[in-house]
Structure 1
Amino acid sequence: MSNSQNKRNVKANGSSGASGGGKSNSTGPKVGNRKPPAKNKAIADARKAASGGNRQTAVWIIAAVVVVALAAAGIYAVTKSNSDKEAAAAARDLGAGTVSVEDGTITWGEDDAPAKVDYWIDLLCPACRQFEENASATMEDAVNAGDAQLVVHPTAILNNNSNPAGYSARATEALLCAADQPQGYKFMKQLYEQQPPEGGPGLSDAELADIAKEVGLSNAWNECYESDEFADVAEANTQAFSENGYPGTPTVLVNGEQITSNNPADLKNAIDNAAA
């Protein structure tokens, strides 16, 4: 091999500078100003990040535990609230009523109660549902305390407000067939709870039967409803409602005096005054 080749090898290895040039061909760091190789720096950064990451991870774990604890507390509070409401509703349940075909009424409470409260209702009537929601607890407490007797007159004044017509009458029959069973009052409340909108078909016979089953009514309800035992009651009650000149449902009377507001306080005051 010639000497010229050896000189090229020496220059390529950085042992000697090129003639006439001031720059070194060396690409390595200078010893006096050494920087860590890129690989080592990446490792150091990763360790640093890992150290800080552990603290951050711990913070996230603690936050997650707090969130889970709060969620559990919220679930407990909601469950307890629902349980309390169910217990209160069970305590107020009026159970079985007394059905009179002749009067077209359902009665809950004692005959000797000082306040006789008459409800004229239509089970398709939104205002009746609103009154039920506002005043039912007041009424139930008064009946259970012996201060009032509740007499319900189901009508069909909105019979033509369903399509096809007839839901109000069917709902009246369904209620009368249920009312003298232990779950009768629950059934009426469910008819309000699941009240269909005006202008629609109303609840079907199958849906009414489902509600009866849900609240625990016996097969006697099905037999009664299918027999049309109370088919004429809704029409008779509607006629009586019109003859009495009542303006609309709900019409609520305490010892014959009409309550003109949906405020449960007015109903309570009327019952209290009757008991005084």
Structure 2
Amino acid sequence: MGGAERTAKKRRQQELAAKSDGAKAVAKARGGGDTKRTAAIVATVVIIVGIVIGGLVWTNASKNATEGQTIPPESVAAELPEARDGAVVVVGEESAPITVDVYADFLCPVCATFEQQYGEQLKEQVEQGTVRLRQHMLPMLDERSDPPGYSLDAANAALLAADAGKFTAFHDSLFASQPEEGKRAYDDEQLIQLGRDVGITGDAFAEGVRSGTYDDLLQREMQRVADDTSLHRDFGDGNVGFGTPTVVADGEMVDLADEAWLDKLVASQQG
């Protein structure tokens, strides 16, 4: 083989080696890109899964916020005369010149706002002998807790608390720590513990809460109230019916948009 041939052969070998090295470099580069892409995809999936799991954990914790809690008992400044009259709890003296009927649900957030705004004022008027308060605690929102049933359970427990002479403290405690509508409320054992904490002794209260002593009575009262057209009002969207809170004073429905309704009512009797 001549020198020229050897030179040409060597050049071809070098060219083939260069091509081989280039192909390896390209393959390596491509492989590196795939690895980076794969790592990025895996990281994204991990982040998404973390967000989903975190969201589920937060949602579940929020939904079950009342689980294991003890309902804080509210103290009552003065012992008010109270007695159960069927499905109604009457607070105050029969001789009081003004009778106020309050229709409410323990799960109703507007009812809780009503209590915050007027609860103490009403108790003051009861204590002074001006107002006799008739509390109608209704299971109107019984399907709005998870699981359903809290409105009825709470109303039943409140009537049992009235039998024990502790309705006002029990009633105030449930509104002060009202569970959120659509989520877990309080179970029977939590209601029973609240009864103990406001001073209810004996086994009758706990037994009555667990067995639903007044469930049928309350459901009949709910139906009666819903059918009573004198308690219906126009909600402004073409929907006319009963809603909570509803307040009636001496047979006349109160306009709760007038924040001075109670002062005016008391003034009218004193004038």
**Alignment partners' CA distance in 2, 1:232 and 1:274:** 38
**Alignment partners' CA distance in 2, 1:255 and 1:158:** 26
Q: Percent identity?
A: 30
Structure 1's unaligned 5+ residue stretches are 1-88
Q: Match for residue 133 of structure 2?
A: 150
Equivalent residue for 2:84, pick from 92, 99, 114: 99
CA distances 1:106-147 after superposition (whole Å, capped 9, x unpaired): 001111211000001111000111000100111001111111
Q: Match for residue 51 of structure 1?
A: none
Equivalent residue for 1:128, pick from 111, 117, 123: 111
Equivalent residue for 1:218, pick from 184, 201, 210: 201
Q: Contact 1:99/1:105 (CA < 8 Å) preserved in 2?
A: yes
Q: Contact 1:128/1:250 (CA < 8 Å) preserved in 2?
A: yes
- The CA RMSD over aligned residues, in Å, is 2.2
**Alignment partners' CA distance in 1, 2:221 and 2:90:** 15
Q: When the two structures are superposed, what TM-score results if normalisation uses the length of structure 2?
A: 0.64
Q: Match for residue 173 of structure 1?
A: 156
Q: Secondary structure at the match of 1:159?
A: coil
Tell me, yes or no, if structure 1 residue 205 matches structure 2 residue 191. no
Offset of residue 237 of structure 1: 2.0
Q: Match for residue 186 of structure 1?
A: 169
**Alignment partners' CA distance in 1, 2:220 and 2:170:** 22
**Alignment partners' CA distance in 2, 1:207 and 1:248:** 27
Tell me, yes or no, if structure 1 residue 159 matches structure 2 residue 154. no
Q: Contact 2:153/2:212 (CA < 8 Å) preserved in 1?
A: no
Q: Secondary structure at the match of 1:153?
A: strand
Offset of residue 90 of structure 1: 4.0
**Alignment partners' CA distance in 1, 2:155 and 2:211:** 14
Q: When the two structures are superposed, what TM-score results if normalisation uses the length of structure 1?
A: 0.63
Q: Match for residue 18 of structure 2?
A: none
What amino acid does structure 2 have at the position aligned with 1:184?
F
Offset of residue 275 of structure 1: 4.6
Offset of residue 93 of structure 1: 4.5
Structure 2's unaligned 5+ residue stretches are 1-74, 233-241
**Alignment partners' CA distance in 2, 1:263 and 1:201:** 33
**Alignment partners' CA distance in 2, 1:265 and 1:93:** 26
**Alignment partners' CA distance in 1, 2:210 and 2:76:** 29
Q: Match for residue 63 of structure 1?
A: none
Offset of residue 263 of structure 1: 5.4
**Alignment partners' CA distance in 2, 1:90 and 1:234:** 26
Offset of residue 238 of structure 1: 1.4
Q: Match for residue 254 of structure 1?
A: 249
Offset of residue 271 of structure 1: 3.0
- The 4+ residue runs of structure 1 with deviation greater than 3 A are 89-93
Q: Which segment drifts farther, 166-175 or 212-221?
A: 212-221
Q: Contact 1:117/1:253 (CA < 8 Å) preserved in 2?
A: yes
Cα 1:114–1:274 change in 2 (3 A) is same
Offset of residue 195 of structure 1: 1.1
What amino acid does structure 2 have at the position aligned with 1:260?
D
Q: Contact 1:181/1:217 (CA < 8 Å) preserved in 2?
A: yes
Q: Secondary structure at the match of 2:218?
A: helix
What amino acid does structure 2 have at the position aligned with 1:221?
F
Cα 1:266–1:190 change in 2 (3 A) is same
Tell me, yes or no, if structure 1 residue 230 matches structure 2 residue 214. yes
